[in-house]
């Protein structure tokens, strides 16, 4: 593993809210500075309402029937163009997200694009920043409604019509062997066959699968993210193997990582591995600031399948039938998440 972990940018605020049994609640939201858009994920179906209002110019996104279930959140000084994003409970059953624009930036209401990935997943895309672009909303306080399309339905089958694209990212490769364990076992050689097997299983289930590498090639972290973005993936799953230094061969086990919207994906894969594979140690599902998790715009998870430096994991990871079991569990976790 051991990827470069740089500065956070892009995501300025993300909130994960516990799932309550009955009510529809806001599971996740994020204002992505780089992509200049708001992402919204709720537990159940939602039809957002969007409007713009002047003085100060702000975009208001209401989520009818959605409970925030926690105190309001306010993020200031987000960028030169966006002063503030606020998320609060507007009325007992409506959560409101307010994006307050900065003075050097103006936007016409019809330039705001609301897009649905599923009835519980929406993007609100602000227009590009244009320095000489001057537009003022009418001064009177009448809000201007923004058109919201019908939501894209949840895919019901895993047939080719499901439209899901899964990006599988086998860690390292080429010049970069990744971690090197007992007997010279290289991480890149462990994760590739697992990844290829995951891809094959998913393809048989009708998914479109894009690999960031399918052979022993060098791909930069940036290149991996670019491939995922170009493929317009619905999920991104990075597969790695772990290592510890200092002859700690007693350290074995698997762990899974997410950064923001990938929590449920990571959890689903992690649980499926624990269910299917005899794992020495469950090291948990954790938040990790890995480049590929932070820079991908889709739900993303990184799975550390075991320690190449661990005496038991090393033996298991060298065994094709163990790797096959891992691959099946990872594929099942992805399928379960998308279901
Ligand atoms: Zn790695």
- CA dist 26 and 18 (Å) reads 9
Structure tokens at 336: 């379960």
Asked if 203 and 331 touch (Cβ cutoff 8 Å), the reply is: no
Structure tokens at 99: 């994006």
CATH of 11-146, one of 3.30.200.20, 3.30.70.260, 2.60.40.3500, 2.30.30.30: 2.60.40.3500
Cα dihedral 124, 130, 132, 138, rounded to 10, equals 0
159 CA distance to ligand 1 middle (Å) = 32
What residues does each domain of the chain span? Answer: 11-146, 160-338
pLDDT 10s digit of each residue in the chain, 339 long? 433 332 222 233 333 333 334 568 887 787 877 778 888 878 788 999 999 998 888 999 999 999 987 777 887 777 878 888 999 999 988 999 999 988 767 778 888 999 887 788 899 988 876 654 555 555 566 888 998 988 887 654 444 435 789 999 999 999 999 999 999 999 999 999 999 999 999 988 888 899 999 999 999 999 999 999 999 999 999 999 999 988 899 999 999 999 988 999 999 999 999 999 999 999 999 999 999 999 999 999 999 999 999 999 999 999 999 999 999 999 999 999 998
Residues with CB under 5 A from ligand 1 (ion): 1, 171, 178, 240
- CA dist 229 and 187 (Å) reads 25
- CA dist 85 and 304 (Å) reads 35
253 CA distance to ligand 1 middle (Å) = 15
- CA dist 270 and 31 (Å) reads 27
Torsions phi, psi for 250 (to 5 deg): -80, -10
- CA dist 216 and 186 (Å) reads 12
Residue 33's pLDDT is: 78
- CA dist 234 and 167 (Å) reads 8
- CA dist 228 and 233 (Å) reads 6
- CA dist 222 and 211 (Å) reads 14
What pTM was estimated for this model as a whole? Answer: 0.58
Residue 29 has a CB neighbour count (10 Å cut-off) of: 26
Q: Do domains 11-146 and 160-338 have the same CATH topology?
A: no
- CA dist 80 and 87 (Å) reads 20
The DSSP-derived string for 47-59 is --EEEEETTTTEE
Residue 16's pLDDT is: 37
4 CA distance to ligand 1 middle (Å) = 10
Structure tokens at 246: 């200092």
Residue 111's pLDDT is: 85
Torsions phi, psi for 199 (to 5 deg): -60, -45
CATH topology of domain 160-338: Aminopeptidase (3.40.630)
191 CA distance to ligand 1 middle (Å) = 9
Which of 333, 269, 254, 262 is CA-nearest to residue 294? 262
CA 35 centroid distance within chain: 14
Of 255, 304, 328, 336, the catalytic one is 304
| Furthest C-alpha separation in the chain | 74
313 CA distance to ligand 1 middle (Å) = 15
Asked if 87 and 72 touch (Cβ cutoff 8 Å), the reply is: yes
- CA dist 288 and 293 (Å) reads 8
179 CA distance to ligand 1 middle (Å) = 6
Active site residue 111: no
Torsions phi, psi for 335 (to 5 deg): -65, -45
């Amino acid at each position: 593993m051991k990827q470069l972990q740089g500065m956070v940018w892009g995501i300025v605020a993300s909130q994960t809210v516990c799932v309550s049994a009955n009510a529809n609640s806001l599971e996740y939201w994020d204002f992505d500075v780089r992509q200049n858009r708001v992402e919204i994920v709720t537990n159940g179906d939602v039809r957002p309402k969007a409007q713009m209002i002047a003085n100060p110019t702000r975009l208001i996104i209401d989520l009818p029937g959605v409970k925030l279930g926690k105190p309001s959140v306010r993020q200031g000084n987000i960028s030169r163009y966006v002063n503030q994003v606020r998320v609060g409970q507007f009325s007992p059953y409506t959560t409101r997200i307010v994006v307050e624009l900065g003075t050097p930036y103006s936007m016409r209401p019809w330039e705001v694009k609301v897009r649905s990935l599923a009835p519980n997943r929406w993007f609100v895309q602000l227009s590009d920043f244009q320095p000489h672009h001057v537009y003022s909303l009418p001064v009177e306080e009448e809000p201007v409604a923004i058109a919201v399309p019908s939501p894209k339905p949840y895919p019901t089958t895993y047939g080719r019509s499901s439209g899901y694209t899964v990006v599988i990212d086998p860690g390292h490769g080429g010049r970069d062997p990744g971690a090197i364990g007992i007997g010279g076992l290289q991480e890149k050689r462990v994760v590739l066959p697992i990844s290829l097997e995951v891809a094959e299983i998913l393809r048989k289930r009708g998914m479109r699968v894009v690999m960031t590498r399918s052979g022993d090639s060098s791909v930069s972290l940036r290149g991996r993210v670019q491939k995922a973005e170009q493929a317009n993936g619905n999920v991104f799953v990075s597969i790695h193997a772990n290592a510890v230094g200092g002859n700690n061969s007693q350290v074995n086990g698997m762990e899974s990582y997410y950064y923001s919207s990938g929590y449920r994906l990571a959890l689903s894969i992690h649980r499926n591995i624990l269910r299917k594979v005899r794992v020495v140690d469950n090291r948990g599902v954790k938040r990790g600031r890995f480049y590929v998790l932070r820079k991908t715009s889709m739900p993303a998870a990184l799975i550390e399948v075991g320690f190449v430096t661990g005496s038991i994991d090393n033996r298991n990871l060298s065994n094709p039938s163990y790797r096959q079991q891992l691959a099946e569990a990872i594929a099942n976790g992805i399928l379960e998440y998308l279901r």
